[in-house]
Structure 1
Amino acid sequence: MISDVTGILLAGGKSRRMGADKRFLTVGEQTLLERSCNILSRIFERVCIVIAQDSQPLETPVPVLRDLIPSCGSLGGMYTGLHQAATPYIFLSACDMPFIHADLIRYMVDVKDEVDIVLGYWNGRPQPTHAVYSRNCLSVVEALVRSGDLKLQRLLTTPALRVRLITEDEIRKIDPEGRSFLNVNTPSDLELARSLCADQREDRGGAPSERA
């Protein structure tokens, strides 16, 4: 178990494009929230869920934090996670990513020590909600939140922060199809995730699809 990184799961509960609370939609035999919590809890000694200030309470054994600053999206959730974590780093993930891969997360954590940010680069795009962030990011995140600039990608161009991109070639060695970065935002995304999960179960002879 990793002790110097806290797993932070963003579960705001807005789900505007889905039309239903994504956290409680099932993929396989678990809800999206359960899938992500279970993976992170196998990796990190400390795991927290961050929800919006106006979100419905969650019944979960994992500690739940409400956003310290309201209505700031993922950047606000990151701020809350960095501010509240007792560790020098956090691993940030979103609960609508049903196929996060424990081995890829561990790989990213393993290369964190000389940098402030470690994140995947997939399909020509950085993946800021599947990333490791150091406490050194906190002041930059706070300044962005206070200014109303809520794009996580802004952190990547901040000269004071050292960034390590995990390339597609590196990712493919662990997660060949990059399923770690699949987000479930719409009903069609949910249908795809359920189909992929069913395929995994068939490939494994009916074994659970969650990756440890």
Structure 2
Amino acid sequence: MSEKKEITTILLAGGQSKRMGKDKAFLKLNGKTFFRIIIEKISKYSNQIIISTNKDKNLYLPDISDLTIHPLFVKDKNPYSGPLNGIISCIPYVKNKFIFIATCDTPLLNPDLIPFLSDKINNYDAVIPVINEKKQFLNTIYTKNALNIANNLYSAGKRSLYAWTNLLNVKEIHQKELEAVKNSLLSYWSINTPEDYTRLLDIWHKYY
């Protein structure tokens, strides 16, 4: 990063994990839960971590009790109402201008994406990666202004990430540019189903 930025990371951990059948935050990879893996990674570049969840924080704290990291846990205003609800629920607690919005189901996240993307935000409201022509609204960087726009949109009864980002001044980063960060594309592989999880474990044991 050419200029150090103070970063808040909002970690979305409030989903129901319906397709997985169990809480994805507590699935394990190489002996660690997805939750702990992501916490360790985002703490590298974040001076504030907020966990958006619908469960008691005491379910999560034992998993990171040995770390010198003290995230803030925030309950969703409307439990299980989607990622935009989780994001806007955290707004009153965000202390930085730049916000990385992460998700618990991408354990292969490369945290070096945080400075890479924040370096490109300049005067934009958000930096949106585009992979295989699909926009990636999570595991990317936003500004506090973007979150305020999300809050207004949600108050108007709209909950779509598409609708939100369509209102923002967005910098798109395409796949070829993202590949400058090692294994960056794997950062956007969401482990949503038992089949995804089995494939992840197979790949991990084969290549890592």
Of 106, 118, 121, the residue aligned with 1:112 is 121
1:112 is displaced (CA, Å) by 1.7
- Inter-partner Cα distance in structure 2 for 1:136 and 1:177: 26
1:195 Cα deviation (Å)?
2.1
Q: How many residues align?
A: 197
Partner in structure 2 of residue 208 of structure 1: none
Q: CA RMSD in A?
A: 1.9
Residue 67 of structure 2 is matched in structure 1 by: none
Which 4+ stretches in 1 moved above 3 angstroms? Answer: 68-71
Residue 12 (structure 2) aligns with? 10
Q: Do residues 184 (structure 1) and 191 (structure 2) align?
A: yes
> Could you give the per-residue CA deviations for residues 100-158 of structure 1, whole angstroms, max 9, x where no partner exists?
11222220011122111012111111110121111112332122222332111212221
* Equivalent residues in 2 for 1:199-210, closer than 5 Å: 199-201=206-208
Specify every segment of 5 or more residues in structure 1 that has no aligned partner in the other structure, as ranges. 202-212
Please report the TM-score for the alignment, with normalisation by the length of structure 2.
Answer: 0.86
| Contact 2:106/2:187, CA 8 A, preserved across alignment | yes
Segment of structure 1 superposing worse, 17-26 or 64-73: 64-73
User: Could you tell me how far apart the structure 2 residues matched to 1:86 and 1:189 are?
Assistant: 35
- Aligned positions of 1:41-190 closer than 5 A: 41-52=43-54, 55-57=55-57, 58-59=60-61, 60=64, 61-158=70-167, 161-176=168-183, 178-190=185-197
Q: 1:20 maps to what in 2?
A: 22
Distance in 2, Cα, partners of 1:36 & 1:149: 29
Which SS does the other structure have where 1:42 is aligned?
Answer: coil
Report the 3-state secondary structure (helix = DSSP H, G, I; strand = E; otherwise coil) of the residue aligned with 2:87: helix
Tell me the TM-score normalized by structure 1. 0.85
Q: Describe the shift of the 1:71–1:146 C-alpha distance in structure 2 as closer, same or farther (beyond 3 A).
A: farther
- Alpha-carbon contact 2:51-2:74 (below 8 Å) kept: yes
Q: Distance in 2 between matches of 1:24 and 1:183?
A: 14
- Equivalent residue letter for 1:197: W
Structure 2 unmatched ranges of 5 or more: 65-69
- 1:168-203 deviations in whole A, cap 9, x for unaligned? 1111222457101000110011112222222342xx
**Aligned residues with identical type, % of pairs:** 26
Secondary structure of 1:139's counterpart equals helix
Task: Give the conservation status (yes or no) of the 8 Å contact 2:110–2:184.
Answer: no
CA distance in 1, matches of 2:30, 2:128: 27
